[in-house]
Chain A
Amino acid sequence: MAVPIIESPRSGRVAPEYSRTSSSRGNFEMIAWLFMRLSGAILVVLIFVHLWTSMVAGDGINGVDFGFVAGKWASPIWQIWDLTMLWLAMLHGTNGVRVIINDYAEKNSTRMGLKAVLYASTVVIVILGTLVIFTFDPCPVIDGVAHVAEYCPTS
């Protein structure tokens, strides 16, 4: 009995209409796939330490207040830590939701609408979060009234 020879799917030339990488998209999807794995591995470390400092160490969740945030952001290490976490988590999450929208929203207009909302939210949240980290004032003066905590310099 002759054994039929089945060619490997990747052998030979792929007709242009079946090519997976269209010229306009480039290899964006491959870069996105790789980014999810790289950022994911880094985020495991960043977020587990974040959860430890805010929910396990010390008084746990009861210890979180304005002074806790001020104490953390007094150190540039925690500023960079939180900034990296913000950017990586937002891009990782945005790409994840983008993939989910592409999977389930079948109408072109629905898909584009949902992604427009998604990208707008991402831009707003990332810019807001970045500004908050870098413009944070541990001893703010609000409407001429100084907020004085024990760690604030006395004038």
Chain B
Amino acid sequence: MSKTLVPAGTLYRGREGQWSWVAHRITGVVIFFFLLVHVLDTSLVRVSPEAYDAVIASYKNPIMGLGELGLVAAIVFHAFNGLRVIAVDFWKQGPRYHRQMLWGVVGLWAVTMIAFSIRHLSHVFGG
């Protein structure tokens, strides 16, 4: 096995801490851009009922349905991991258990997404 050269000092420490931070940033940006679009599409209720219904109808197809699933997945992760960040910052034992809490976040996220997927996909694909 060849040894790889590791830089002497880096702020990036890898593992749960860094990767949850990366995921929090990516999901945050995704949610923010959706929010801009979401306010714009909702604003069509001030144009006419038909304009609003037409745009919402274009959301009601399988591809957008899967996109909504991805959006909710991003929101649920960002929400649960955000509560973990609050616990790390304000709970005395938070920094010590931040890894365990991340696996708790991932577990809760998986359970929530399984339940939501069953409900949402049955709406999207018939039923």
Contacts and interface: CB of A to CB of B under 8 A. Distances in A.
A113 interface: no
A55 B85 contact: no
Contacts of B79: 43-44, 47-48
B35 A69 contact: no
Given A47-B79, A100-B29, A136-B45, A61 B85 contact: no
B16 interface: no
B42 A129 contact: yes
A77 interface: no
Interface residues of A, number: 40
Contact of A41 (B39, B48, B86, B119): B86
A142 B48 contact: yes
A136 B44 CA distance: 10
A51 interface: yes
Given A93-B31, A140-B48, A40 B72 contact: no
Interface in A72-116: 86, 89-90, 93-94, 96-97, 100
B75 interface: yes
A149 B52 CA distance: 15
A61 B59 contact: yes
Interface of A: 37, 40-41, 43-44, 47-48, 51, 55-56, 59-62, 64-66, 69-70, 86, 89-90, 93-94, 96-97, 100, 121, 125, 128-129, 131-132, 135-137, 140, 142, 147, 149
- Residue picked from A61, A100, A128, most chain B C-beta under 10 Å: A61
A8 B62 CA distance: 59
B120 A61 contact: yes
Given A93-B28, A96-B29, 6 more contacts: A44-B79, A55-B116, A60-B119, A62-B123, A128-B43, A136-B46
Contact of A51 (B36, B75, B89): B75
B107 interface: no
Contacts of B43: 128-129, 132
A65 B52 contact: yes
A93 B32 contact: yes
Nearest to B86: A37
Interface string B27-68: 011011001100110110110110011001001100001001
B36 A100 contact: no
13 contacts: A37-B85, A41-B82, A51-B72, A55-B68, A55-B72, A61-B60, A66-B53, A69-B42, A96-B25, A97-B28, A129-B39, A131-B46, A136-B46
